[in-house]
Amino acid sequence: MISEEEFKNYINSLIDEKTKDKISGEAKRAKNLGYPFLIVGISLTLIGFVLIFLSFNMFAVPILMLFVFAGLVLIIISAVILGAKSATISKFEKENITKILSKLLEGYDYYYNKGEFINKEDLIKSGFCSNNIDRYSGEDYLKINVANRNSKNSIDLIISDVYAEKEETSTDDDGHTTTSYCTIYGGAFGYVQFNEPFKTNLFINTYSHYAIGTQKVVLEDIEFNRRLKVRCDDQLEARIILTPDVMQKLKDLERSFKNLEIAMLGTRLYIGAPSTNLFHVRSFKHSFDGENFMQIYRDIRLILGIIDEIKNNDKIFKKEVNV
């Protein structure tokens, strides 16, 4: 991959002064007005409802309703102010994502399509969410070749943002039924299919999700044990896979994603970030520039680095020789 500095400078070249000034101005308004309005609005609304509930004077209720109304108005205003910044950033991302990926993945064979996404069956196979999916969508399909071109060991990283929802229905006292959808997975999801199967089923996640038939793995890296939970059905194989370099990259990725899911099942390595959109700006300070896109660069580099470490570890896929 190109260097961080080269990528940052390229992003800066895409951001014209008009866009930069507009987003920076919207960021200042969000800080000075949007967030204060939101806090005050929520406070007034809650105070109004609490006082109405506790009030024994019916004549006071209309006055207290003004607190609620004022609070809701401030919340709406804050949403408009905060939404303006997000809308402008999203517009920039949409117009420039192909250019950004072209620079980011310079030297790689890759395919990208904004409207495509990984199919539902692959998400279910990973075990990252239940198979009770009633509504499914996604975007930002990306396939990157992570091996040498024209190599018989060529493998691809396939990743996209996906959104899985479960239908929920409720019925009130009058018999009216309401249908709503609850998100059970919403974020980045991807996988790599290796040419040989892993010798163990291995699960790594931020929270201790229990996998039936597996054992807890405690590694020498204390920080890794604190940040990530590991379970598998072969302790030795887990240690062969989780080299110090792989563990360091996983820790760095967990810091970025906050919620990280890894599963090695059969020939596939699945990776999930249930609360992260991979190709969208997640951190934003006062100035809109190339630094805001560096997390995308670092995440892709870490994922490719983990795959490369595993792909080149001969002990993982080495076949046993019977003597």
Q: What is the DSSP letter of 41?
A: H
Tens-digit pLDDT profile for residues 130-175: 888 999 999 999 999 986 444 456 789 999 999 999 998 888 777 7
Taking alpha carbons only, the member of 249, 292, 260, 115 closest to residue 189 is 260
Helices (H) and strands (E) in the chain, counts: 10, 9
Taking alpha carbons only, the member of 115, 262, 116, 127 closest to residue 184 is 127
User: Taking the alpha carbons of 238, 278, 115, 14 in that order, is the dihedral positive or negative?
Assistant: negative
Q: 71-85, 91-105, 173-187: which range is least confident on average?
A: 71-85
Q: Region 87-102: what's the mean pLDDT?
A: 85
pLDDT above 50 for 93: yes
User: How far apart are the C-alpha atoms of 85 and 159, rounded to whole Å?
Assistant: 27
Asked if 84 and 50 touch (Cβ cutoff 8 Å), the reply is: no
3-state secondary structure at position 37: helix
Taking alpha carbons only, the member of 151, 191, 197, 153 closest to residue 318 is 197
Q: What would the two tokens of residue 77 be?
A: 């205003």
On the 0-12 / 13-18 / 19+ scale of CB atoms within 10 A, 157 is buried
The pLDDT confidence band at residue 119, using thresholds 50, 70 and 90, is very high
- 72 versus 212: the higher-pLDDT residue is 72
Q: pLDDT over 90 for what percent of the chain?
A: 45
What pLDDT is stored for residue 144 in this prediction?
A: 94
Q: Is 135 left (phi over 0), alpha (psi -120 to 50) or beta?
A: beta
- Count of residues in the chain: 323
- 65 versus 285: the higher-pLDDT residue is 65
- 284 versus 310: the higher-pLDDT residue is 310
**For tokens 């895409």, what's the residue?**
14
pTM for the full model?
Answer: 0.81
Q: What would the two tokens of residue 88 be?
A: 């402008």
Tens-digit pLDDT profile for residues 21-68: 777 776 777 777 778 888 888 888 888 888 777 776 666 777 778 878
On the 0-12 / 13-18 / 19+ scale of CB atoms within 10 A, 204 is buried
- 80's CB contacts (< 8 A; 6+ apart) are none
Tens-digit pLDDT profile for residues 226-245: 999 999 988 899 999 999 99
Strand partners, 142: 112, 159
User: How far apart are the C-alpha atoms of 109 and 281, rounded to whole Å?
Assistant: 24
3-state secondary structure at position 231: strand
Q: Region 101-130: what's the mean pLDDT?
A: 93
Strand partners, 181: 167
Q: pLDDT over 70 for what percent of the chain?
A: 89
User: How far apart are the C-alpha atoms of 244 and 147, rounded to whole Å?
Assistant: 22
